[in-house]
Structure formats: structure tokens, C-alpha cells
């Protein structure tokens, strides 16, 4: 009976399944449920752990976060226990006041502007560099494996360790970057202490961190493009640029769309780079939405739980909007996922 | 992959680009290693190493809580990786092979969880952990990291299982194995590259996570490496010698896992993340 469940995942089989269910429509609901259980319990058992984990650890906190964003909860009025005394929560519902306050405040729009700049710069440059290197590495030549290992090395180092390494390089008085510049007769650059330079510096570090993933994913994509396509194009006299434009890019489309979507989401939410490199400074020049929300709830005093949750809700809405728009534009181009 | 002839100029260009790129990729961690062998007073000298010393390492290992943090991190990461790989693999297999009610929403759910900013979950999670009495307990981080790593890994494993021919499952069924048996005995062994990538990703995620670790764990004894390292270089102190030595020792396990998984990375990601 359960054999039925293991139907391979191809569209034809799926369609058959759908038709089968319609045929069953006349049976009473309870036996339909029993039928479904009998057919699908293997599949459900296999996904159950994820559903439970996501449900408990993401679903519940998400609901609670949404709720907190509608209150005035902060460190002073949430439920807490001091010694043996249990103090009940005293925060109250304030409706959409938090959102109104945030959207009325220039701080949010400034942070949003910088977060978007940061995301676009990082993703665009990471993708271009990753693609360029992947194309180079996709040829046959001596030393290819060595180059590949060296180029994906940043991936092997935990991000926060790399960030500290960069702080060492960026150090204004004594860092090696400025020492080298000094040797060339150029004044020291305040890498992390000048708002504009700090922005460029954090972007550079994030690109450095992100290229290996792009490189590996795109290299994989390149290797799945059949070589005959290039041979045929070459016979027809296509220039290298034309081959890149008309074979490589379309061949990489499904890989690219996935990595661009993921890396946009990851960069938008990239916490450690900015938190560890500049703490959002100087001033709050490099603070993106996520680090700012974290600052509200864990750095500032008193901790503003409601405000941070409201920022979180806004970040989530922005990302979901982006994902929906992005997916729709892919669909128009004929991508299916 | 084509075998094509290049002019010498193109060849020089190719190698120059790759050498520069490799240097940029390798230099920061390399400089960290170099600095860690310098005496404290010379942390910022540009000489490669004048008088190499193990003083920083001795100091970090002997006089700080580094080993405790290391143990905390290792424990959390190993459990997270084992559970994470297992859960991601079964989920990936189910969505790859079975058509079942709830599959589409599940796929969406896995994608959407990628979008959750730390900011929205961290306060409620902090409150939950504190209610459960899990603050400063490894379990709080294990559970949290699973939710961070598993959705992406399941997504990646699905793509990977999609590349394993369905005939293999069918032959297993003919031999009388149930779906669990087929999965465990036939498919899992074939999916090793995918599992290696998943394990690597989970490991790196958990080993390098900063926000939750800084928020949930307090007190010298309970910190993980990510939080502990910050104590060497913060607003008040900047002990670059200890920081670099600690950083190198933190990077070593990650590098080991990486070199183990590296062979599989390209194959695994090709099949996985890219096809999803």
C-alpha cells in the first residue's frame, strides 16, 4: 500500500496522482484521511522533524515577535524573576504606534537607504567577481586545482575570525594597509573611522567573504553546460563575447537566480560583518537595519524589545516583498521554481 | 572544459589575474597567522617575523578561558551537525521523491525561513530560553542553529537527491525494502558528497555564529568561541596578540572540516544549491 507514496517526482506522475484524488472524491471524508495517511505517512514522517523544529522555534517566536511589535515591551516591564521574586509583565498593547514612530523617523529611512546600497553593491560585485573567476577556472590549464583551493580558502575560515583579521589589516595607526601606503608616500587612510571609507571597507570585507560561495556555485553551473554548444558556436564564428553572452549566461540562469536571491537575503541580514568590524560606527554610518534592531534590544539600555521586534517585522516584510517580486520576474522569463 | 589553445598573452593575463585574486583571498588569514607568532609588543610591525614566539599561544591556552570556550563550541557544533545533517537529509529526500499534500507549502517555508532576520526572532527566542531556563545552556544554541542551518541544507539536499536516478529506489523496492530502508541503505551512501556539503555548511554556520551566541550566553564559563574572541579586542582592551593566536586556533578545526569536505564541495553544490 505504501509503495504508492514513493512515486517518483516527475510531472506526469504528479498529474496522475491529482486525477486519482478526484476519482476518490465520492468517498466519505474519514476514509479519505485514512487513505492519505496510508499513502503519505512515510513522506510525512520524514519531514516531521523539520516541520516540528520550524514550527516551535521559528513559528512561535515569529508569532510572539509580531505580538511584541504591537506592545511597549522593554527591559523594565517584561515578565522576569529577580532572586525569588517573580514580577509579572506590565507592558500593554499599543497597536501600530511602534510602526508609526519608526516610519515617521528619518533614522529608519537613512538606515534603509544604506542597507539597500550595501546589499546591491555587495551582491552585484560578489556575483561579477565570482562569475569572472569561475569562467577563468573553468578552462583547462596547469595549476587549476591549486588556484581553486586558494580562492575558496576564505570560506574555510569562520567569518568572525576573518573579520578580526581584517580589523588587523584596517587598523588606522598600525595596520599593514596603511603601512604599505605610507611606504608609497600616501597618507594613512582612516579605513574604519571615516563614514565613507568605513562603508567601502565593510563592503570590501563582505565581498571577500562572499566570493567563494559564488565561485563554487557558478563553477558547478558552468560545468553542467555541454561543451558541444561552445564548439558549435565557435564553428559558426561566434566571438568569445558572443559565446559568453548567448551560451554561458543563459546556461547559468537557474544557478544565478538562486544564488542571487539567497545572497541578497543573506547580505540584507548580514549581522556579523558590520557588528564585529565597526559596531555600526563611526556614529551609525554603517549600521544596517538588522544591526540597528539588535542594538535596540541588546546593546542600548533600557532594552527596547518592542521597538526591535517592530524593526524585525519591517525587515521581514521588505525581504518578502523582494522575494515575491523577484520570483514573479523570473516566472516571466520562463523560470519555473 | 574545452581544450583550447591560448596565445601567450592570454595565458599571462589568465595567470596574473588568478595570482592576484588568490593573494587577496589568502592574505588576511595568512597575516593573522603571521601576527600570532609575533611578541605582543610587535603585533603591528610589518616585518614578517623577527623573533617568532609561542608566547601568545601559551598565554591564551594557559591564562584565559579559551579551552572552556573551545569545548563549549565543539560540543554545540558536533551535536548540531549530526542532528542537522540527519534532519536535512530525510527532508530533502522526502521532497525530492514523494509527492505529498503539504509539499509545496513546505518548500516555501524552507525558503522563507531564510529571510527571517535575527532581529525578529532573537527577542522572543531569548524570552523563551529564559522561561525554559535554557539561557547559558548549550541546548539553546543547538536548537537555534538547527533552525538556521536546516532549511538551506534541506533545500540543497533536495537538489542533490534529484540527481540520483529514481531507478535505484525502484530496484530497492523490488528487493522488498520499504522507503526508509531504500533511503538508508541505497540512497544515503550515494549521497555522500551532498551530505558532506551539508555537514560542512552546518558546521561553519554553528562554529561562526555571533548574534545568538553573544545574546544567549553570558559569564566567562559559558561563552562560545565567537563570543569569547570578542573579549580580547573590544572597546576597553585590545590584546591583538591573544586575539590572533586564539583566532588561528579557532580556524584550525574549521579548516580541517573544510579540507575533508572540499573534494565534495563543487559536486555537492552543483547538484544542490544550484539546481534548487
The per-residue pLDDT for range A52-71, each reduced to its tens digit, is 878 877 888 888 888 888 88
B18 belongs to a structural domain: no
Return the higher-pLDDT residue of B237 and A274.
A274
Per the structure block, which three cell numbers stand in for B114?
531564510
Name every chain B residue with its beta carbon within 8 A of the beta carbon of A6.
97-98, 169, 173, 179, 182
Q: What is the mean pLDDT of residues B134-142?
A: 87
Of B254, B244, B260, B184, residue with least CA distance to A46: B184
Whether the per-residue pLDDT at B116 is higher than 80: the answer is: no
> What contacts A228, CB < 8 A, 6 or more positions away?
none
- Whether B100 has its CB under 8 Å from any CB of chain A: the answer is yes
Model confidence band, residue A15 (pLDDT cutoffs 50, 70, 90): very low
**Residue of B115, B147, B199, B232 best to disrupt the A interface, most CBs of A under 10 A:** B115
B112 belongs to a structural domain: yes
B242 belongs to a structural domain: yes
pTM here is 0.80
Main-chain dihedrals φ then ψ at residue A64, nearest 5 degrees: -70, -40
Q: How many domains does one find in chain B?
A: 1
Please name the residue that has the C-alpha cell 592574505. B27
Model confidence band, residue A119 (pLDDT cutoffs 50, 70, 90): very high
Whether the per-residue pLDDT at A335 is higher than 70: the answer is: no
Model confidence band, residue B258 (pLDDT cutoffs 50, 70, 90): confident
Q: Which domain holds residue B245?
A: 56-273
Whether the per-residue pLDDT at B70 is higher than 50: the answer is: yes
Report the percentage of chain B scoring pLDDT > 70: 87
B10 belongs to a structural domain: no
CA distance A307 to A299: 13
Model confidence band, residue B162 (pLDDT cutoffs 50, 70, 90): confident
Report the percentage of chain A scoring pLDDT > 90: 10
Q: What is the pLDDT of residue A1?
A: 36
B221 belongs to a structural domain: yes
Residue of A nearest to B259 (CA): A156
The CATH number covering residue B193 comes to 1.10.3720.10
Residues linked to residue A85 through DSSP beta bridges, in sequence order: A82
> What contacts B253, CB < 8 A, 6 or more positions away?
B74, B207
Residues linked to residue A82 through DSSP beta bridges, in sequence order: A85
Model confidence band, residue A123 (pLDDT cutoffs 50, 70, 90): very high
B261 belongs to a structural domain: yes
A233-282 residue pLDDT tens: 888 888 888 888 888 888 888 778 878 888 888 898 888 888 888 887 78
- For B148, the 3-state DSSP assignment is helix
Q: Return mean pLDDT, chain B.
A: 81
Name every chain A residue with its beta carbon within 8 A of the beta carbon of B158.
none
Q: What is the ipTM metric for this complex?
A: 0.78
Q: What is the mean pLDDT of residues A122-141?
A: 91
Cross-chain residue pair A266–B114, CB shorter than 8 Å: yes
- For B101, the 3-state DSSP assignment is coil
Model confidence band, residue B276 (pLDDT cutoffs 50, 70, 90): very low
A17-52 residue pLDDT tens: 444 444 444 556 667 777 777 777 888 888 888 888
B44 belongs to a structural domain: no
Cross-chain residue pair B119–A51, CB shorter than 8 Å: no
Whether the per-residue pLDDT at B275 is higher than 50: the answer is: no
Are residues A286 and A198 in contact, defined by beta-carbon separation less than 8 angstroms?
A: yes
Cross-chain residue pair A169–B31, CB shorter than 8 Å: yes
Please name the residue that has the C-alpha cell 471524508. A29
Are residues A130 and A218 in contact, defined by beta-carbon separation less than 8 angstroms?
A: yes
Whether the per-residue pLDDT at A222 is higher than 90: the answer is: no
B192-226 residue pLDDT tens: 888 888 898 899 888 888 888 888 888 778 888 88
CA distance A9 to B86: 22
Model confidence band, residue B268 (pLDDT cutoffs 50, 70, 90): low
Whether the per-residue pLDDT at A231 is higher than 70: the answer is: yes
CA–chain centroid gap for B89, Å, is: 16
Model confidence band, residue A176 (pLDDT cutoffs 50, 70, 90): confident
B51 belongs to a structural domain: no
Q: What is the pLDDT of residue A189?
A: 76
> By mean pLDDT, which of A7-21, A167-181, B53-67, B193-207 is the weakest?
A7-21
**Residue of A36, A160, A296 best to disrupt the B interface, most CBs of B under 10 A:** A160
Which string of b and e fits B7-29 if b means at least 16 CB within 10 Å? eeeeeeebeeebeebbebbeebb
Q: What is the pLDDT of residue B4?
A: 52
Amino acid at each position: 500500500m505504501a509503495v504508492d507514496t514513493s512515486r517518483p517526482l516527475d510531472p506526469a506522475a504528479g498529474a496522475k496522482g491529482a486525477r486519482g484524488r478526484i476519482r476518490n472524491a465520492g468517498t466519505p471524508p474519514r476514509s479519505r484521511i485514512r487513505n492519505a495517511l496510508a499513502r503519505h505517512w512515510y513522506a510525512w514522517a520524514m519531514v516531521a522533524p523539520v516541520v516540528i523544529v520550524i514550527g516551535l522555534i521559528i513559528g512561535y517566536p515569529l508569532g510572539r515577535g509580531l505580538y511584541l511589535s504591537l506592545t511597549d515591551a522593554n527591559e523594565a516591564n517584561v515578565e522576569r524573576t529577580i532572586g525569588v521574586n517573580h514580577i509579572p509583565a506590565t507592558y500593554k498593547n499599543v497597536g501600530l504606534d511602534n510602526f508609526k514612530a519608526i516610519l515617521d523617523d528619518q533614522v529608519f529611512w537613512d538606515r534603509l537607504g544604506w542597507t539597500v546600497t550595501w546589499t546591491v553593491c555587495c551582491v552585484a560585485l560578489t556575483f561579477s567577481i565570482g562569475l569572472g573567476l569561475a569562467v577563468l577556472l573553468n578552462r583547462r590549464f596547469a595549476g587549476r586545482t591549486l588556484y581553486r583551493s586558494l580562492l575558496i580558502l576564505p570560506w574555510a575560515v569562520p567569518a568572525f575570525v576573518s573579520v578580526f583579521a581584517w580589523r588587523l589589516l584596517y587598523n588606522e595607526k598600525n595596520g599593514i594597509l596603511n603601512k604599505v601606503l605610507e611606504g608609497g608616500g600616501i597618507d594613512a587612510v582612516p579605513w574604519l573611522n571615516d563614514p565613507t571609507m568605513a562603508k567601502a571597507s565593510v563592503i570590501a570585507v563582505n565581498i571577500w567573504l562572499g566570493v567563494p560561495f559564488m565561485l563554487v556555485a557558478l563553477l558547478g553551473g558552468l560545468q553542467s553546460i555541454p561543451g558541444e554548444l561552445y564548439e558549435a558556436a565557435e564553428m559558426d564564428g561566434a566571438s568569445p563575447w558572443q559565446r559568453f553572452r548567448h551560451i554561458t549566461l543563459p546556461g547559468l540562469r537557474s544557478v544565478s537566480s538562486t544564488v542571487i536571491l539567497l545572497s541578497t537575503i543573506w547580505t540584507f541580514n548580514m549581522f556579523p560583518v558590520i557588528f564585529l568590524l565597526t559596531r555600526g560606527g563611526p556614529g551609525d554610518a554603517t549600521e544596517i537595519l538588522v544591526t540597528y534592531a539588535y542594538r535596540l534590544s541588546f546593546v542600548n539600555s533600557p532594552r527596547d524589545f518592542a521597538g526591535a521586534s517592530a524593526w524585525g517585522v519591517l525587515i521581514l516584510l521588505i525581504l518578502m516583498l523582494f522575494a515575491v517580486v523577484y520570483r514573479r520576474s523570473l516566472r516571466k522569463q520562463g523560470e519555473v521554481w | 572544459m574545452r581544450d583550447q589553445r591560448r596565445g601567450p598573452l592570454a595565458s599571462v593575463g589568465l595567470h596574473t589575474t588568478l595570482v592576484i585574486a588568490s593573494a587577496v583571498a589568502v592574505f588576511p588569514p595568512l597575516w593573522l597567522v603571521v601576527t600570532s607568532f609575533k611578541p605582543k609588543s610587535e603585533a603591528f610591525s610589518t616585518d614578517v617575523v623577527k623573533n617568532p614566539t609561542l608566547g601568545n599561544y601559551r598565554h591564551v591556552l594557559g591564562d584565559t578561558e579559551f579551552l572552556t570556550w573551545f569545548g563549549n563550541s565543539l560540543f554545540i557544533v558536533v551535536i548540531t551537525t549530526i542532528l542537522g545533517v540527519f534532519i536535512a537529509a530525510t527532508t530533502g529526500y522526502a521532497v525530492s521523491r514523494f509527492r505529498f499534500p503539504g509539499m509545496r507549502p513546505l518548500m516555501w517555508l524552507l525558503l522563507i525561513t531564510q529571510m527571517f532576520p535575527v532581529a525578529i526572532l532573537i527577542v522572543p527566542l531569548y524570552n523563551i530560553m529564559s522561561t525554559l531556563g535554557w539561557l547559558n545552556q548549550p541546548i539553546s544554541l543547538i536548537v537555534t542553529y538547527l533552525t538556521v542551518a536546516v532549511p538551506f541544507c534541506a533545500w540543497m539536499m533536495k537538489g542533490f537527491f534529484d540527481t540520483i536516478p529514481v531507478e535505484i529506489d525502484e530496484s530497492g523496492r523490488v528487493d522488498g525494502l520499504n522507503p526508509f530502508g531504500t533511503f538508508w541503505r541505497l540512497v544515503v551512501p550515494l549521497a555522500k558528497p551532498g551530505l558532506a556539503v551539508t555537514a560542512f555548511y552546518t558546521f561553519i554556520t554553528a562554529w561562526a555564529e555571533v548574534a545568538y551566541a553573544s545574546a544567549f550566553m553570558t559569564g566567562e564559563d559559558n561563552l562560545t568561541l565567537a563570543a569569547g574572541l570578542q573579549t580580547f579586542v573590544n572597546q576597553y582592551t585590545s590584546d591583538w596578540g591573544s586575539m590572533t593566536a586564539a583566532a588561528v586556533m579557532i580556524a584550525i578545526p574549521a579548516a580541517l572540516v573544510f579540507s575533508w569536505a572540499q573534494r565534495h564541495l563543487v559536486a555537492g553544490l552543483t547538484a544542490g544549491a544550484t539546481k534548487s
